[in-house]
Amino acid sequence: MGKGLLLALALFCSLQSSSIAADGQYAVSKISPLLLLNANAVMRLEELKFEIISPAKAVYTNHYVITILNENGDGWAELFDYYDKHHKIRSVDGVLYDAAGKSLKKMKDKDMEDLSGSSGANLMDDNRIKRHNFYYRAYPYTIEYTIVTEYSSTLFFPPWVPVSREMISVEQSSVSIVSPADYEFRYKAFNYKDAPVVTQQKSDKVSTWSVKNLLAIQREPFSPMWHELTTMVIFGPTAFQVDEYKGNMASWQDFGKFVQALKSGKDVLPDNIKQKVKEIASGYADEKQKISALYEYLQKNTRYISIQLGIGGWQPFDAKYVATKSYGDCKALTNYMYSILKEAGINSYYTLVRAGANAKYITTEFPSQQFNHVILCVPVQKDTIWLECTSQTMPAGYLGDFTGDRNALLIDENGGKLVRTPKYGFNENLELRHIAATINNEGDIEAIVKTKYMAEQQDDLHGIINGLSKDKLMEYLKEEIELATYDVKSFNYEEKKGMIPEIKETLDIVASHYATVSGKRLFVVPNIMTRWSRKLAAEDNRKYDIVLNYEFKDIDSSIIKIPAGYTQEAAPQDVKIESKFGKYSSSVKVDGDKIIYYRHHEHYSGRFPAKDYAELAKFYETIYKADRSRVVLVKNETTKGF
């Protein structure tokens, strides 16, 4: 019997013996020992009901009971529910139970906090939060909540994800969609093979999905997305309504028609801006240069501020508003840039996208609102220029890891169609570094480090050097470099804008005791700054496929001058490894008073079967060790005559 199961059985028995006298409906003793494995909390009961009254109205009831097993599960005990103009919380009830299932306390209306849900990025919005916590810490304990929310928009249908995060198991969970008999909604199930149970409730149709006894999940390194690991069902409308705007989501084209209707007629520029656009555009014969110049005008004369009020969360402010205020959110700024290009006689397309470095996936076969951002697509000749209109510093044509390499919904007069944004592979995500360094007899090192970062390798640095003052940038550099004790004497950055942007960095660094002095020997790690940090723990029973999302290439060379009188005693062997995950090679030699080091690392993206995990771990381990290998130098001793 496994150690984990023994511990779970022990906890089960102790809980059972302590609650014999008062064993309520939600007594912890009733939890199966298997559900305690790897769990910080257990969902005892979840009953979700989404009742569609009309395309403009729905009622969502969320009733759940969850047992908190330890302090790591306390986050599940807090009620935290958003509401806004389109989502009104009608009622909230809550009860606290002890381990025996005995009711200890009921939540009262006065116990609820009502907080602003506005984020720091939003100038104004109408998001608010209902929050409650019993703050009970005698483990285990159980909380029960029932929240009823009224929807005045049916653009979103809530998904059903019984196991919604790691380390929580589920006794039973269900979701029901109640709809008029003549209303068609849509759904897509993941890891749920059965058809929903369909019953009648007066004149309505009730479709129900349910599960029991789902074990807690421990996510493995580089796991697939959550919907591949557990049961999930997503839902979407056909006909829907937001305020007075009606739409249909049966296809991407139909959904695009709704988005197009929201922005229709909002592209009229003030006369002074029209004149400025003509003035800028007349200076360029090349269309790409013209687009870049107009984009730079947008960047210099507007700034990103989000305003999320009512339909404004979906509908852009018109071009005149942005021209007057000089600010807007992603929708408003993208629409403004669209209007500028239209005035210049250039076609472009408002495009919805799901933004975020780790948010590339949308369910392409299930048309629905899966987007959180808007960018602009500008076709030119045989190319396409993508514009991130919320940035005041990004070059025209480059998207980076925020919106690159994913499906997006392009909007035109005919509706919407899915397109793919540019992918940046290992040949674009390039880092080239050369170091010229000198080590003295005490092991101190001084190095001139010249690095060129390209594409996604420069994304973070681009934000830092454009967002920090020179003094703050120096502070950042003095904390960021992975050397034990060092100082940055000077730095310099040069940016080259383009479809594949570049940043050239020059650093003058001194580090004390970089090399280790031991008697007459000097130990030097020739890889000064580009050391692989990832090591993978052994896994004998990998469950899930391996998903690597990021591609890059690093090429490093170093010439390190060593103190006089030292010669090589030992040096690392050349390393060369090629695998399906990438390539790595490194070499080092001592030539007179210099150590010459070279390193080449290519890392691939892709999906690989679980059986390849040991090979990936070995690949990473080889790189980790090679990057830390040392040259051993010994000091020559001159023999004196008699």
Q: Report CA torsion sign: 511, 514, 518, 520.
A: negative
Q: Report CA torsion sign: 23, 24, 25, 29.
A: negative
Q: Could you list the beta-strand ranges (E) of 216-359.
A: 232-236, 239-242, 245-248, 303-304, 306-308, 327-328, 349-353
111 three-state secondary structure: helix
Measure CA of the first residue to CA of the last residue in the chain; give whole Å: 76
- Give the pLDDT of residue 414: 96
Contacts of the segment 477-483: beta carbons below 8 A, 24+ positions apart: 477/507, 481/507, 481/509, 481/529, 482/529, 482/531, 483/509, 483/511, 483/514, 483/528, 483/529
Task: Domain ranges for the chain, please list them.
Answer: 3-239, 251-420, 430-635
May I ask the CATH class of domain 430-635?
Answer: mainly beta
Extract the residue ranges of the chain whose pLDDT is less than 50: 1-22, 120-124, 309-310, 639-642
519 three-state secondary structure: coil
CB atoms within 10 A of CB 353: 29
538 three-state secondary structure: coil
Rg of the Cα trace of the chain? 30
Q: Please provide the CATH number assigned to the domain covering 251-420.
A: 3.10.620.30
- Give the pLDDT of residue 540: 81
3-state helix, strand, coil in the chain (%, to 5): 25, 40, 40
DSSP secondary structure, 145-189, as one string? EEEEEEESB-S----B-SS-STTEEEEEEEEEEEEETT---EEEE
Spatial contact of 368 and 234, defined as CB atoms under 8 Å apart: yes
Spatial contact of 168 and 214, defined as CB atoms under 8 Å apart: no
- Residue 101 CA, distance from chain mean position: 39
**Token representation of residue 70:** 């330890």
Q: How far apart are CA 26 and CA 249, in angstroms?
A: 41
Q: Which of 29, 36, 34 is nearest to 15 (CA)?
A: 29
- Give the pLDDT of residue 109: 78
pLDDT in tens, 503-521: 999 999 999 999 999 999 9
- Give the pLDDT of residue 4: 46
pLDDT in tens, 536-546: 998 888 999 99
For strand 552-561 and strand 430-439, is the pairing parallel, antiparallel, or unpaired?
A: parallel
DSSP secondary structure, 434-449, as one string? EEEEEE-TTS-EEEEE
Q: What would be the CATH architecture of the domain defined by 3-239?
A: Sandwich (2.60)
